[in-house]
Structure 1
């Protein structure tokens, strides 16, 4: 089977670049980031996407998986139990030779690992179950409990918020990133893996993150994402991904809402800024409130109500300002100051 990195390279070049198409057309904006990701995929390199929450990191990674071609896989065999796997039994190897086979799409070979402080190396790699090893043998498929890394074979391994994983877990990835192989526990043999590795992380200033070692960073191409560059770009994202309910959201009010959110992102009092998910949430909730009030149009009070529900827990004031005010009062004050002199009539 052709290596997955070679497949994605050929698909990008032949199906998109030569045809002048955007393989990530579901992502609005972020043109430089998309260009850098394409160059990393073509050259077969590991990718680390850095950006605040809600900037499209996960969406980009899922888009890459959708580019992958379908593969033929023996029916009834777990996806991680590929033919070259050392624990695969002769019965399974026979299925690999004779079938029957089923088609597996690229998006079904997208495996996500969520970084967290309690993530263990065994969660990623897997381990041998001692009781089953006594019954079936140490090299039997039944004795092995696979981690998520093996489930991504012939697909995309997406490690979300890698800098929330403890250092021991981060270090366990070095062999995979450098050699495309994994050693299980204390066993000496290495198991080859055919994957595209994509990781994301929030900026290191975010709460609950661990520092990424220079040795690990050296295995990645770093791609930076940021918030939408202007009101028009963010409006396109909201209208594409936000739910439109049975009520009108006046364009002027929508632009006013986006302008307010973008103003907050520039405020140096905040250490955590409102994401695009916040704007989408306000867009959806304001419509719902208008429906409750039996209004045909979203009105300014619906936006204000939505702000107080959506924003306070999605932003964080810097410690030096928390002594003076909490996040809810901050949102109220900022909004009241912002709308002074604004024409928000339809």
Structure 2
């Protein structure tokens, strides 16, 4: 999309009616709110950059999750500062933070909590697990068996935990930031599709550039000592969430999102496409909801009150890559989920 088309699209969306309400007046009225949100997000990025080198996409993903109430799966080889990024966000946000190291001998009660029998009173008391916090780092989540992984499902989906016969709400905000190693598969358990679908985003944490790595080597062992200011607060998070709810999306853009998702299931064309053989199971309806949420946050990062097709394209890979079940043909031909999503984005007409 060239500059002229983008400008005309902007003009069109500013005058689009969403749910029967015109938003051009609202844009003028709330422009200061969205600009303030952009400044808050930029401040978070800048503060995190004091300690992290070249991990902007990770911080953006975490900020997206805290605004939307979602969860993030971080995949990358060891040593790419995934854990440091999560700890840094916890510090600059001032939220309570706990880390769970997933291992093969971990039990579900080690995550959610359990009932403890008190011999003196003859009663049971509740001992809440580390999941009762704001930010949970599930480190190497694929090292624990399915029973332990499932202990997180209720917490991620319902924001609550059942211990014994009672259900306890989790602190708000609540988000799970899970990491996994894509290359070391000995002693690991694949995450089931139902659990993967609970993650709003999957971020592939890549190697740094040579220039970034020089900076990392120079500051080796000192990154954790760099102080970061608490630039977020409970009120600022609520302000970001309130602005997020005000971001509008035209019906034609929502149809565009649904078309992207439905192509993975071959529903919108009625015929098989060139990449259909590479997909065994397509994305779920939760994917469309996640794509809308993340596109709204992309607009918020830009200080806009409305979604553009470019926002959808920028969010598509992180939203969909873990929700596609690829076929044996994809493995045989060396085709990745990202390559399939890129083809889908060129296949689906842009409104």
Looking at CA atoms only, which structure, 1 or 2, has the larger radius of gyration? 1
TM-score by length of 1: 0.49
Q: What's the TM-score once normalised by structure 2's chain length?
A: 0.48
Higher relative contact order (CA 8 A, sep 6+): 2
